[in-house]
Structure 1
Amino acid sequence: MRRAIQTAAVASVLAAAAGSAAAEPPSFANNRADEDWSALRDPANRTGAAWERFKFIPLDATGESYLTLGTDLRLRFERYADNFDSPKPDETYGWARVMPYADLHLGSNLRVFGQMLGAFADRSALTEGPVDETGAELLQGFTEVSAPAGAGELSVRGGRQMVAYGSERLIGLRFGPNVPLSVDGVRTRLELGDWTADAFAYRPVANELGDFNDRSDRSRKVFGLYATRALPEINPKSGLDLYWIGYERQDASFDSGVADERRHTFGTRFFGWLDGWSWNHEAMLQLGSFGREKILAWSVATETRYTFSNVPLRPFVELKANIISGDGGPGGRLGTFNALFPKGKYFGEIGLVGPANLVNLHPVIGVSLGSGWSLSGAAVFYWRQSLEDGVYGNPGNLIRPSAGSHARYVGTQGEVVLGWEATQNVTLETSYALFDPGRFLRETGSGKTVHFAGGEIQFRY
């Protein structure tokens, strides 16, 4: 089965590379449900690419009802050496992922979307987890009904979905690992002028080995309101987010203990670009309860970039900086920030440290090499925000308790990424990264420098 998927993926990639389109059709998205190919109703918007015929298949004379078909295929390898989180072994492993979908529009007010997932891995039983392999599963399957609402539009979507809000600091697709995140639930959306507002209630899907056995995680749920206002007075890609996200989890585990968790996140995000500058700044406050303790946690996250548009290779420099609260010790209040369902590989390709109890600086530089090639390099410096709390992984799991250490510095990370967009359908990427443990990790366990290498080929249509 795995070999068949890999063979099909390579064959599709080579076929797409042999004939690229002469012009640019609408772009692809990591969440294929976000794509809108209705512009192809007008023949003037078509490019003549062979694969484009599958993006708009009219089902009536007017084209108001139509079908879109497509798929994602990805082959990826990764290697870790000298992992500080013992007893994980050194290993080189492969991931194979295929995600075909069908998007049916029955007139302008009814939509049915379905997407399958085949996710397979070849790695050690000591390290393989639910983000590596889940067999064949339903990734998305929802129905959406929409109708005019005054001067705007109201839509209701129910079923299994992939969901991302903002820059995926709290609710993301988990697209980088092999198994993306799905949720089961309902979303109601109102689009009115420059505003888009969602009300939602979801349970995450718990991924298991084996085919067609993934179910809603009954121990966790997330619900809330998320509103975005476009700021055309700055430019069409600038905006302001305002949100409240509720979260409940049974038997949550932090350095201070295990208990039921009820948490409310209140946040705002300001993002956009202007005259070469781009920014993505977010502030979050969390309140709630953890067993008998109260929760008071917070985070401030910033990304600021400048691109030298008129310079050869269009170089850019960027600084990301985060302050993410940790706990002050057992008893009193829980101060550990919970990032809920963040994007995968939150701080880079190596993906060892997650967004809890951290202060970090993350400078990035990059260039466009032409012909679809790009090159970037980054360094990340990590400190513990609280000396009474440990270090956590990307999904929020405790990977190293505080153990009484008074050391603040966690480690230094460096990485370089080379990418190539061969065609609109085919992308390739390779990366190398290392993580040098700081004093805290050396005092509380293994202090080896971790080396990571990764590479992938992806095909979409």
Structure 2
Amino acid sequence: MHLSWSLFISFLLFSCLIYSQENKQIQFKLLGQDDEMSFLSEKESKSVYEKLKWIDLKNNNSLSFGGSYRFQAESFINENFNHQGAQDNIWYLNRILLHALFKINQKFDAYIELSSSTAIGKTNVSPVDKDLLAVNQAFAAYYFNSNWSLLLGRENLGFGSRRLVDVREGPNVRRSFDLARIDYKNETTKLTTFFAIPVKNKEGAFDNDYVKSSETFSGVYLSKNFHKYINFDIYGFYQKDDDVTYAIGTADERRYTFGGRYFGSYKNVTFNNEAAYQLGLFGNNKINAYTLSLNAEYATKFIGDKTTIGLKTELISGDKNRNDNRLNTFDALYPRGAYFGRVARFGPSNLIDIHPYINTIYSKYYVAIDYDVFWRYSKNDGVYDAALFLQYPSTNTSAFIGHQIGTVTGFNFTNHLNIELETNIIIPGNFLKQNGATASLFHSVLTAEYKF
């Protein structure tokens, strides 16, 4: 614990020193390969940091480096919705990402990113908590022209609003795929077709397999932007997975997902609506499942520099009848690990939720407050966790799961350094109480991340 805090403080001091010497205009993105630093190619006088960040190899060739360090201190009270056992469970998560990008004449990219994710003080370590040393991404991309490209290798994958396919940034270990993908893009259109194999994370050093799994994921994703308030995504996915467990049992699954998204903004209103339907086979059972998500928010200056007031609601189907040879439980495929906040107690299957929220920004500070209320879509199906494993079986006829109240308070010191505190409290409803989960759960996580 003392070593973890020492590393954390050292990184804070180091970040402040480096920041005083480097250019402030580099824009860091979620994925390192998307960092925006093109202005360095034309800048004549570069700082020491900029010279290390981006190296001109002449003839439109370049080599760039970067990465991030993230520290998290996480704690629960009544972690399993009961008062049993010690309640002073606090652990520390550390994640380091280091990457290099080699670009040749705007025709070829070679990218590699190593990751190290560790957990200190946590008793039950999961695959999303610890991966001592791994190749998180390693791919080569060839650009046939300004429109078409081919990518082969290992990559973090995300589409659209990332409700169904996400990088999984919340947990300590990101999600990777070994894949082949072809992309087309112009000013208003982006089309991606791919075939991928999810990487199964292991705890050791360089022990994750390459292109070795019974699970596959493939599909097509089309984005079309007509106007700032008329934008559409249309997609079709196919997932093959063996030995999957739902409330009705365990079997091999072959699932197709077809969906669409309509999003944009009009004056001060932003909206993001999405629907998806699933069919296929789960053993001898036919799959018929769906989800509908509606989200609208209004921007004003009620508090601070900008205030956003929003409302989101989701309908996510669950299995209606265990004996009708049909599976109605929606599978969210590869969603965010923190789908309903970093507390991550409920996953996007068999749920109805209503989620009002308010966010405000003042200078470099931001605060978000949200309230979420959950019901079971079907009383014959259970409640699933963030990894889509059945957590609470359907042992009673109550639909109400509970209330969740969350806050996020953060401060952006620079575009390199951010500190954020998130808290959540979940008050059990009748369904959880009748499953023996009677105590309110409290969760907090302090996150500090430095990008370079």
Smaller-chain TM-score bracket: over 0.9
Amino acid at match of 2:312: K
Is 1:205 aligned with 2:190?
Answer: no
1:192 is aligned to 186
SS in 1 for 2:199: strand
Is 1:214 aligned with 2:213?
Answer: no
2:30 is aligned to 30
1:226 is aligned to 221
1:249-307 Cα distance to aligned partner (Å, 9 max, x none): 10100001100000010011112223221121110000100000000000011221111
Q: In the aligned structure 1, how far is the partner of 2:4 from the partner of 2:40?
A: 30
Equivalent residues in 2 for 1:148-167, closer than 5 Å? 148=145, 152-167=146-161
1:80 is aligned to 76
Amino acid at match of 2:196: Y
1:139 is aligned to 136
The question of whether the paired residues in 2 share the 8 Å contact of 1:267 and 1:284 is answered with yes
Amino acid at match of 1:144: A
The question of whether the paired residues in 1 share the 8 Å contact of 2:23 and 2:50 is answered with no
Residue 302 (structure 1) aligned to one of 282, 290, 294? 294
Q: CA deviation at 1:84?
A: 2.8
Q: CA deviation at 1:39?
A: 3.2
Go from structure 1 to structure 2 and tell me whether the alpha carbon gap of 1:228 and 1:21 turns closer, same or farther (over 3 Å shift).
farther
Residue 68 (structure 1) aligned to one of 58, 64, 68? 64
1:17 is aligned to 16
Q: In the aligned structure 2, how far is the partner of 1:311 from the partner of 1:442?
A: 38
SS in 1 for 2:144: strand
Q: In the aligned structure 1, how far is the partner of 2:48 from the partner of 2:415?
A: 13
The question of whether the paired residues in 2 share the 8 Å contact of 1:367 and 1:376 is answered with yes
Unpaired runs of 5+ residues, structure 1, are none
SS in 1 for 2:12: helix
Amino acid at match of 1:35: D
Unpaired runs of 5+ residues, structure 2, are none
Equivalent residues in 2 for 1:40-439, closer than 5 Å? 40-43=40-43, 50-60=48-58, 62=59, 64-84=60-80, 90=87, 91-125=89-123, 127-148=124-145, 152-216=146-210, 218-231=213-226, 233-234=227-228, 239-309=231-301, 312-331=304-323, 332-370=325-363, 372-403=364-395, 405-439=396-430
Go from structure 1 to structure 2 and tell me whether the alpha carbon gap of 1:174 and 1:328 turns closer, same or farther (over 3 Å shift).
same
Q: In the aligned structure 2, how far is the partner of 1:356 from the partner of 1:314?
A: 33
The question of whether the paired residues in 1 share the 8 Å contact of 2:28 and 2:36 is answered with no
The question of whether the paired residues in 2 share the 8 Å contact of 1:6 and 1:96 is answered with no
Q: CA deviation at 1:312?
A: 4.0
Give the TM-score normalised by the residue count of structure 1: 0.92
The question of whether the paired residues in 2 share the 8 Å contact of 1:103 and 1:114 is answered with yes
Q: CA deviation at 1:23?
A: 6.7
SS in 2 for 1:348: coil
Amino acid at match of 1:69: F
The question of whether the paired residues in 2 share the 8 Å contact of 1:20 and 1:424 is answered with no
The question of whether the paired residues in 1 share the 8 Å contact of 2:310 and 2:356 is answered with yes
Go from structure 1 to structure 2 and tell me whether the alpha carbon gap of 1:50 and 1:278 turns closer, same or farther (over 3 Å shift).
farther
Length, aligned pairs only: 447
Amino acid at match of 1:226: Y
Give the TM-score normalised by the residue count of structure 2: 0.94
Q: In the aligned structure 2, how far is the partner of 1:460 from the partner of 1:195?
A: 31
Go from structure 1 to structure 2 and tell me whether the alpha carbon gap of 1:303 and 1:51 turns closer, same or farther (over 3 Å shift).
farther
Q: CA deviation at 1:134?
A: 1.0
The question of whether the paired residues in 1 share the 8 Å contact of 2:189 and 2:223 is answered with yes
Among all aligned residue pairs of Structure 1 and Structure 2, give the percentage whose two residues are the same amino acid.
Answer: 26
Q: In the aligned structure 1, how far is the partner of 2:51 from the partner of 2:332?
A: 41
SS in 2 for 1:226: strand
Aligned-residue Cα RMSD (Å) equals 2.1
